[in-house]
Amino acid sequence: MTAKGDNVVIRSLTQIGACGLFLLTILAAIPRSLRHGRETLRQIWFVGAMSLTIVMTCGLFVGMVLGLQLYDVLSIFGGTSATGTVVAIAIYRELGPVVTALLFAGRAGTSVTAEIGLMRATDQLDAMEMMAVDPIAYVAVPRFLAGVVALPLLGVVFCAMGVFGGHLVGVTWLGIDNGTFWSNMTATVDVHKDIVNGVLLKSFAFGIVVSLIAVFQGYTTPPTSEGVAYATTRTVVASSIAILALDFVLTSFLI
């Protein structure tokens, strides 16, 4: 391995270690941030409710595409009645939490990074420290908690819209019997394995990772416009890689 490659590995490991230490700092500051409950609620609205449009739209079209593709494949084996079941399992176990997390990182994660990065660039964080206001408790923790709370809820909405999209294509368009569509789905989908482990647990883990990366990149960015731009890019790249890698790890344990 070349010296340049060694430097890249060392920088990556340094960033991961610093991010882990930053997580410990955030967890330690959670009790102090309880006084800023209104700020946490505002951030939940900003990263959660304001992301509903893109999450619902993408969930609907993902479900519709799955319904079309699976109907075409299953018709070869005469199993079109299982379209609803396969759509639901694919969305609940994988596509729902993963695509929601990727959308969340691109929409909300970059916004959080840019907002905190601009606070750093305009010396607002330093001004808070001078006024005896803890920027970790007032800025970092509410945004971290907001992402952890909002992402599982968005994942549930995405899955609901995905199943609705599959039903729209399968039943309304392609003519699958409505009773068969729902009965096969409800008989096969397991609440604990597919919904709790597939949707809620994965979305909760992704929420921690994406929120941590977004807050960390914004809080530690160089106080320049170029630094903020690079920080938002790093948030998307690092979050995407972390989501897919963590999804593999979680699936290997939960399957």
| Average pLDDT for the chain | 90
- pLDDT for the residue 223: 86
Beta-carbon count within 10 A of 105 CB: 28
User: What does the pLDDT read at residue 186?
Assistant: 87
Burial 22-50 (b: 16+ CB within 10 A, else e): bbeebeebeeebeebeebbeebbebbbee
d(CA 165, CA 152) in angstroms, rounded, equals 20
Average pLDDT over residues 124-137: 88
Residue-wise pLDDT for 60-116, tens only, equals 999 999 999 988 888 888 878 888 889 999 999 999 999 999 999 999 999 999 999
pLDDT, one tens digit per residue, over 209-253 is 999 999 999 999 888 888 899 999 999 999 999 999 999 999 998
CA distance 122 to 48: 26
Give the separation between CA 145 and CA 211, rounded to whole angstroms.
Answer: 8
Q: In this model, does residue 133 exceed pLDDT 90?
A: no
